[in-house]
């Protein structure tokens, strides 16, 4: 992150192709699994939207052994000047980090590694202009968060902990940054102390999943399934890119989960994957 650049200015992203095993992805409530074809179509459209937004996308190959590995946001954190390998807080996802590590080591000069026994998922971590917020959750514990704060400080940014509402998978399942002054969230997070001073857009009741949006450069990726939230964003003046999320939502995912994003300066390399 640089002082002169917005935290939502990105020119680089990593994504991973879904595996056919994505149909077995983790979910809190089983409303029927997604189809591989459905997830693949949503993922393809997402990659196209990233490229349209001016981002160079590195597409990693599918990993059959890891049904949730399409959600590359969770096993790592990336900044302009370094990356942090995380320890996802659920056993079936822990080894996804080792799959991502060689790619990040090729792209970043500095790669820090969250040590055992702390745990943290990238879905709990939000970059804001006032520093990085780390939501404590079922996946991100206090020890993981404290170590992360120290690591993020080593990379030159501030960080602090936040609370993730009970029953919500990740902090960013329920809140997202829209611009330097504005967040969008569910009503459960709208009054959170960490968002003091931010302008807030609260998603309407029944559209809670719409709180996971992704601001990329001049546009906001938002789920196409929540018309009232799309309308709020539109009226607030955002250039919204509606994307289908019907299949990934069946395995508790949203739009931020499917990429790692950062602003690459001249130094970092694009790996040949
Ligand atoms: C999981 O439970 O880990 C996946 N099924 C969903 C991960 C969503 N990731 C994210 O919100 N960053």
CA dist., res. 99 & res. 70, Å (int): 12
Helices (H), the chain: 36-52, 96-107, 142-154, 187-190, 227-235
Domain boundaries defined on the chain: 12-262
Q: Determine the topology of domain 12-262 in CATH.
A: 3.75.10
pLDDT attached to residue 2: 44
Query: pTM for the complete prediction?
Result: 0.95
Sign of the CA dihedral with 58 first, then 61, 65, and 68 last: positive
Provide the pLDDT for residue 270: 52
Q: How many CB atoms lie within 10 A of CB 35?
A: 14
> How far apart are alpha carbons 266 and 82 in whole angstroms?
13
> Whole-angstrom Cα distance, residue 194 to residue 153?
18
Divide the 273 residues of the chain into consecutive groups of 10 and give the mean pLDDT of each group: 79 98 96 96 98 98 98 98 97 98 97 97 97 98 98 96 95 98 96 96 97 98 98 98 98 98 76 48
Strands (E), the chain: 12-16, 56-60, 76-79, 82-85, 111-113, 125-128, 131-136, 159-163, 175-179, 182-185, 199-202, 214-216, 219-223, 239-243, 260-262
Is 136:142 a contact under the CB 8 Å cutoff? yes
CB of 126 sitting under 6 A from ligand 1: no
Nearest atom (ligand 1) to Cα of 67:
5
Is 130:158 a contact under the CB 8 Å cutoff? yes
Query: For 2-23, what is each residue's pLDDT tens digit?
Result: 447 999 999 999 999 999 999 9
Q: Which pLDDT does position 31 carry in this prediction?
A: 86
With beta carbons less than 8 A apart as the criterion, state whether 188 and 168 touch.
yes
pLDDT digits (tens, 9 = 90+) for 51-109: 999 999 999 999 999 999 999 999 999 999 999 999 999 999 999 999 999 999 999 99
Please name which of 176, 126, 131, 125 lies closest in space to residue 155, comparing C-alpha atoms: 131
Taking the CB of residue 21, how many other CB atoms lie within 10 A of it? 17
Point out the ligand 1 atom lying closest to the alpha carbon of residue 121. Answer: 12
- Which of 74, 126, 259 should be mutated for ligand 1, with most atoms under 8 A from CB? 74
């Amino acid at each position: 992150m640089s002082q002169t650049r917005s935290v939502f200015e990105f020119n680089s992203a990593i994504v991973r192709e879904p595996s056919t095993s994505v149909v077995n992805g983790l979910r809190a409530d089983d409303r029927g699994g997604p189809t591989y074809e459905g997830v693949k179509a949503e993922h393809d459209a997402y990659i196209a939207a990233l490229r349209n937004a001016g981002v160079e996308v590195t597409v990693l190959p599918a990993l059959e052994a890891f049904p949730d590995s399409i959600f590359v946001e969770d096993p790592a954190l990336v900044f302009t000047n370094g990356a942090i390998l995380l320890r996802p807080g659920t056993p079936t996802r822990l080894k996804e980090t080792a799959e991502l590590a060689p790619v990040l080591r090729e792209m970043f000069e500095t790669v820090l590694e969250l040590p055992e026994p702390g745990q943290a998922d990238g879905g709990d971590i939000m970059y804001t202009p006032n520093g990085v917020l780390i939501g404590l959750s079922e996946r991100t514990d206090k020890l993981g968060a404290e170590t992360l704060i120290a690591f993020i400080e080593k990379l030159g940014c501030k960080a602090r902990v936040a609370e993730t509402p009970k029953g919500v998978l990740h902090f960013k399942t329920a809140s997202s940054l829209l611009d330097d002054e504005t967040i969008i969230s569910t009503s459960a997070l709208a009054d959170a102390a960490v968002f003091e001073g931010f302008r807030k857009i609260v998603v309407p009741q029944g559209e809670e999943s719409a709180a996971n949006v992704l601001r990329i450069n001049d546009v906001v990726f938002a789920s196409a399934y929540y018309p009232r939230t799309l309308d709020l964003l539109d009226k607030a003046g955002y250039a919204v890119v509606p994307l289908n999320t019907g299949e990934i939502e069946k395995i508790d995912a949203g739009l931020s989960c499917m990429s790692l994003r950062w602003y690459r300066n001249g130094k970092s390399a694009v790996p040949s994957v």
